[in-house]
C-alpha cells in the first residue's frame, strides 16, 4: 500500500501565500476539468484556461472556431459547472493565441550520399556553361560539405 501524498508540493512548506496560490490553482484545474468533461474530446482539447469572475465563466480556447463551438455548448457547460458547486451564469470564450501550443518547426533533414555528390560534380564538369550547370554545381557544393 502506498503512503498518502500531501496535496501541496513540498516547496510550499508553511508559506501561507504559496498555500493559497496552490489552492487557487487546484480549484481552477478542477473547474477546467469540469468544463472539459462536458465537451466532446476534440473541443475539450482546445480549452486551455478558465477563470470565474462575478458569475461569468471565461474559457480560454486556441481558435475562434473553438470559441464559436464553445458558445453553442454554453448552457450545458454552465449547468455542469453549477452542479459541480461553482456559481456561473454565463460563459465567455476567449481566444488565447499566446497560450496556443506551437507545432514544432521541422528542419530539413535530407542528405545526399557522398557518392551522389561526387556524381553531381562529374556531371557538372560535362555540362555546357549555363543555368543547369550552375544549379548542379551549387547542389554539389551545398551537399559536399556534410
Q: Domains of the chain by range and CATH?
A: 14-99 (3.30.300.180), 114-144 (no CATH)
CA 105 to chain centre: 13
pTM comes to: 0.58
- Mean pLDDT for 127-137 is 91
pLDDT attached to residue 4: 40
- 10, pLDDT greater than 50: yes
Question: For 22-79, how does the pLDDT look when each residue is reduced to its tens digit (9 = 90+)?
Answer: 888 899 999 999 999 999 999 999 999 999 999 999 999 999 999 999 999 999 999 9
- Mean pLDDT for 88-114 is 75
Amino acid at each position: 500500500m502506498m503512503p498518502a501524498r500531501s496535496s501541496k508540493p513540498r516547496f510550499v512548506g508553511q508559506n501561507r501565500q504559496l498555500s493559497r496560490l496552490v489552492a487557487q490553482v487546484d480549484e481552477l484545474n478542477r473547474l477546467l476539468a469540469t468544463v472539459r468533461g462536458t465537451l466532446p474530446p476534440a473541443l475539450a482539447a482546445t480549452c486551455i484556461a478558465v477563470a470565474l469572475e462575478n458569475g461569468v465563466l471565461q474559457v480560454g480556447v486556441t481558435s475562434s472556431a473553438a470559441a464559436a463551438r464553445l458558445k453553442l455548448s454554453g448552457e450545458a457547460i454552465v449547468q455542469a459547472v453549477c452542479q459541480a458547486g461553482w456559481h456561473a451564469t454565463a460563459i465567455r470564450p476567449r481566444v488565447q493565441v499566446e497560450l496556443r501550443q506551437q507545432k514544432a518547426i521541422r528542419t530539413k533533414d535530407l542528405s545526399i550520399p557522398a557518392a551522389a555528390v561526387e556524381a553531381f560534380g562529374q556531371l557538372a564538369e560535362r555540362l555546357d556553361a549555363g543555368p543547369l550547370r550552375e544549379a548542379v554545381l551549387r547542389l554539389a557544393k551545398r551537399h559536399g560539405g556534410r
